[in-house]
Each structure stands twice: as C-alpha cells, then as structure tokens.
Amino acid sequence: MEEFRRAYAKLCAAPQEAVLRRLRERGEAPGRARLDLAEQSLSLETCGALGRLLPGAAHFAEVALGDCGLSEDGVKLLLHGLCSNSTVKSLDLKEAVAVDRWSVAAWSLGGFPFVFSVNECGCSSLTRASHWLGNNLRTTGAEALGKLLRQNKSIRSLILEWNSLGVWEEGFSFFCQGLGANNFLQRLDLRNNQINHHGAGELAMALKRNASLQELDLRWNNIGLLGGRALLNCLQSNKTLKKLELAGNNVPSDILKAVEQAMDHNRDRQTILSETQNRTSVLSKEILNLKDEKTKQFLDLMDTIDKQREEIARSGRISAGRVSQLQEALNEQHSIMNSLKAKLQMTEAALALSEQKVHNLGELLSATKQEQASMAERHFAELQQQKQEGADREGKLFRDLSASNEKNLFLRNQVDELEKKCKVQQDQIFQLKQDLTNTTAELKLRAVQAEERLEMEKRRFKQSLEDMESLRLKEVDHLTQHMEASERSMQDRVQRLEAIRIALEEELSQVKAAALTERGHAEEELIKVRNQARLEEQQRVEHLEEKLRLMTEARDEAQNCCLKQKQMVGEAQVKANQLNLHADGLRRRIEELQQDLNSKEQEKVTEVNKVKVELQEQIGHLQAERTAQEGLREKIAALERQLKVLSSNHREALLDKEGEISMLMEKLRMKEADISRMKEEEAQRASILQNAIMAYVQGSSLGTHSLRK
C-alpha cells in the first residue's frame, strides 16, 4: 500500500491530501487487499492516476469507490484502468446518501431521482438525488461499465446502488450488452437505479445470454408488470441465476411467486448438477485410477516379460556362442586327430620301411626293431587312450548340449505360455474398458433422456396452460363484447322510446293549444260539433291508447331482453366458475406432474444407485483380477527365480565345461609336445640309422673293393 501511495503521489501534480491520508490509514491497517476510497471527493487527476495504477501497480481484491462525487470523465478513466486488471474481485460504485440525513422514500419525477428526507430537527424536505448523492453515472459511465464487463475477467461482484442508470436508456442498453457478453460476474446490485420496463427488457435479453450471474438485486426500481413478465420469460432460458430480488417494483404477486419458483428450480437444478458433476468427477477419478493401475500393472508385466526375453535371448546368445566355441574346439580336436592319424600312418609306413631295411640289415638292427616295436605299441596304446578320452568327452559335451537344448525348449514353452496369459489379460483389460465406456455412455444417455423428458413435460404443460389462458381470455372478451353490444342496443331502444314519448307529449301539448285556440273561436259551434269533437277525441284517445299499448309492449320486450342479458351474464358467470374449476384441475394436474417429476427424480436416484452398485461390483471384479494379477506376478517372480537358478547352474556348467576345455587344451599341448619330442627322437634315430646304414654300406663297398684288388 505504501508503494501504491508513493506511485499515486508521483503521478499526480497536486495529490489530494484526503486520498493520501486514507491510503496511509489503509496501509497501517491489517487488510491491505482492499482499496477503500469511499466518501472521498476524487478529482479528475486522481481518477486518471488511479486508472493508470490499477492495471498492475497493486494487487487489490476489492475496490470501494462509493459516494466519491465522480464525474463522467473520471468514471471513464477509472473503469478503463480496471478493464485490464486481473486481481480485483469486487467493485463498489454505489451512491451513498449524505450521513446527516435520514432518507425515508425515493422515486423519480420527470426522469430524475428525488428523495424525501427528514433531518434531525424533524423538518422534511424533497431533494433531487443528484445534488447530494456520491457518484453521478450517466450515459458515458454506463458505456464504460459495459466495456468493463466485456473485457474484464476477474470481477465477481459489482455494486451499482443509487446510480440512476435506468434514466439513460441508451447507456443502459450498452451496459446490458456488456452484461450479456460477460461470463465471469456472479453478483450484481442495481437497487434504486430508476429502471423501468424498457430497462427490464434489456436486462432480460442480457440474462438470456449470460451464463455466470447468480445473484441480481433489482429492488426499489420502476419495473412494473411488463418488466416483471420480461424477467420471468428470460428465466426460462437462464438456468444459472439463483437469487432475484424484485421488491418495491410494483410487480404483481403472481409474477413474484413465479420468479421465486423459477429461482427455487434453478437452485435445485444447480445443486443436482453440482452433485452429478461431483459424482461423475469422483467416478471418473476412480476409473482413471483403475486405468492407471491397470496400465502400470500391464507395463510392469510387459517390462518383466521383456527383461525375461532379453535374459533368455542373452543366455541363448551366450550358450550359442559357447556351443560354437565348443564346436570349433571339437573341430580343432578332430583336425588334430586327423593330423595325428596321418602322422601315425606316415610313421607306420616309415616304420615298415625301416623294418624292411632293418630285416635286411639283420641282427644289428633287431635291438632297434624291438625298441621301435615297444615304442610303437606304447604310442599306439596312448593314442587309443587319447581316442577313448576324446570320445568320452565328446559324449559328455553332446549330452550337455542336449540338456541345454531341452532347457531352452522348456524356457521357450514357458515364455509362450506367459505371452498367451498376457494376451488373455490384455483382452480382459480391453473388455473391461469397453464395459466401462458402455456403462458411462448408458448413464449419459439415460441422463439426457431424463432431461429431455422433463423438458418435454414442461413445454407441454406450459403450452397447455397458455392455450387454456388464451381460450379463457377469448371467451371473456367475447362475452364482454356481446354484453356491451346488447347494452348499447338496449340503450338505443330506450332512447328511441323516450324520443317517441317526448314526441307524443309535444303532440298532446300542440293539440291542447289548438283546442284552446279553437275553443275561443268555436264556442258557438261547440254545441254543434261537440259530438263530432267527442268522436274525434275518442278516436285520438284510442290512438293514444294503442301507442301506449305499443310502448308497454316495447317496455316488456326491453325487460325481457334485460332478463335474457341477465341470464346470459349468469351463464357467463357459470362458465367463469367452470373455467376456475378447470384451472383448479390444471393446478392439481400440475401438482400431479410435480409428483411425477419427484418420482422420476427418485427413479433417477435409484438408477444412479444401481449404477453405483454395478460400478462397485465392477470394481470388485477388477480387484479380484488385480489379486489374480498379483498371483501371476508372484508366479512370474518364481519363474524369474527359477530362471536365475537355471542361469546360475548353466553358468556353473559352462564354467566347468570351460575348465574341462582348458584342461583338454593343456593335455593337447602336452601331447603335441610329446609328439614333437617323439618326432625329434625318431628323427635323431633315423639319422643315426641312416648314418649307420651309410657307414655299413660304405664299409661293405670298401671290403668288396679290397677283395677285388
């Protein structure tokens, strides 16, 4: 708050001391998330500075600017700054009445709000409200409020009490358009704003498009019957408004009751929607948790299987490499044996030649023959022993290879079985997913069907009520028109009869005047024409009697018509009573439909409970499958342990075989050294024999040559 105060003082050339003092007091107070400048007369410069500071210089959750004497430009600057603010949740722009007066009544005269007040001394006064109320929002202010509602996404509560926004219809329409475009405001206070039925219609159009407003206070305005009907009609499409205050607006009680019923219905609908959303969220979370657990279990199983496959493949590669090494060693041993056999054959041939030569040489070489024979027998025995040992080792190696092959086949069979089990579990998991999707789809379809049925019943009932109301109004209008026409005809007939009576009286007066004039002139002839006058008078009296009789008949006819009209009025009253009875029947029908709706809601609750039970059963099945999978995991762990034991045994056997192979290689090297030594000895002996033979041949040739000489 101190930084905000310094920034305000820096932006203003002449900062207001009252504002600085209020900011300093609020900075020392514990609640620093509220900017309270109520009852402070803010200048245009202060409004501009606040409008530049509010977007990001301070993080206020509440802004109170009531009774601040704001001008149109000041309101525009402040609201322009709040358009880009993202922290303010509550905005208070109400116009508070002066503290030293007690307002007891407020109304509109000539388009301006007036207040009747009584001061402390008991003196009453009628004052125009704009002279001593705090703010003065007009067309520009209403347009700025509409722009604020369009652009701001953080304000949840807006208080505009005592601002007379309804007086400026164009500005109020802009405000209503902004309200219709806003989807974040939850509470709106429009008390004492001089809103008439046109403004109520604009508000109704805005409420049809608004989907976030929950509380709307319209008390002490001039909404009237038409505005109340417009607001009631808009509640058919608005399902989010929970509280609508309409006291002090001259709205009929039936419309107020209908509005209260609509609010109760919206609150019930919101509670049901919140409960269903909570339940669906809980169920979706449980399903997601189950899916995550299943996927984790499946991934763990696949990881173990992949590890086992990798270990088996690695052991197979190692065993194949070792078998290939053993095969190469065997091939080398076979080649060595073949080379030894060839060498033995060559040595046997050389021995045969030497035997032949020794046999030819005689007794000198018999000792060498015996030694060579003994050496050959000894070499042959050693070679036979080596062949036998090599054959035994080859048999052992072949048996080990067959055992390792059998073990590999057994492990491969186990891997195939595990893969089959994994496929079965994958199919089961896929089936469970399909079942879950089907159940969720069925639940959604049932909910949608129930809502559609409710909407159809509501529309049908509303249509029937509207039809009955229109028929009743038409019949009443027809009866009233007929009665008015009959009354007009009777009045015309009575007027005509009165005109005839007046004409007859005039004729009587004229006749009397004529008789009086003639009486003076004809007193002498009176005796002569008395009989004739009497006859004429009798005729006239008869004529008048006939006219009177006709008048009485016409009067009787008029009375009969009046009686008929009274009978028709009685019949109309009977029909009205019948219509009232029919309306009572319709009300009872409404109650029955309400009971049906309650029963359907109970059925829906039972269906939801059934679905919960089914989901619990499915969860139990999934838990059983989980236990089965845990058993499979234990089996897999046992198989892994067996594989580890087999691999360790296999490694030990391979190590033993490698040791035996190394021993064989050492023996082969020793044998090769013995063979090389024997070759050297045989070569030495052959050289000795050759030298002896050469010496013998040379000695025999010298002896023969000396004999010849």
**Phi, psi torsion values for 135, nearest 5 degrees:** -115, 170
More confident residue, 202 or 460: 202
The band of 522, judged by pLDDT with boundaries at 50, 70 and 90, is: low
Q: Please enumerate, as own/partner, the contacts of 71-75 that have beta carbons within 8 Å and a separation of 24 or more.
A: 71/44, 71/47, 71/136, 72/136, 72/138, 72/140, 72/141, 73/44, 73/47, 73/140, 74/42, 74/43, 74/44, 74/46, 74/47, 74/48, 75/47, 75/135, 75/137, 75/140, 75/141, 75/144
Question: What does the alpha-carbon distance between residue 67 and residue 133 come to, in Å, rounded to a whole number?
Answer: 6
The band of 96, judged by pLDDT with boundaries at 50, 70 and 90, is: very low
Mean pLDDT of the chain: 80
Distance between first and last Cα of the chain: 151
Write the Ramachandran bin of 491: left for phi over 0, alpha for psi from -120 to 50, otherwise beta: alpha
Mean pLDDT of 38-62: 84
Name which of 246, 272, 144 is nearest 190 in CA terms: 246
Q: What DSSP assignment string belongs to 284-346?
A: HHHHHHHHHHHHHHHHHHHHHHHHHHHHHHHHHHHHHHHHHHHHHHHHHHHHHHHHHHHHHHH
Report residue 557 as tokens. Answer: 């006819």
Torsion, Cα 76 77 83 87, to 10 degrees, reads: -130
User: What is the value of pTM for the model shown?
Assistant: 0.42
Strand partners, 105: 116
What confidence tens digit (pLDDT) does each residue in 144-170 have? 999 999 999 999 999 999 888 888 889
> Is 50 exceeded by the pLDDT of residue 107?
no
Q: Considering only 57-61, 138-142, 632-636, which range has the smallest mean pLDDT?
A: 57-61
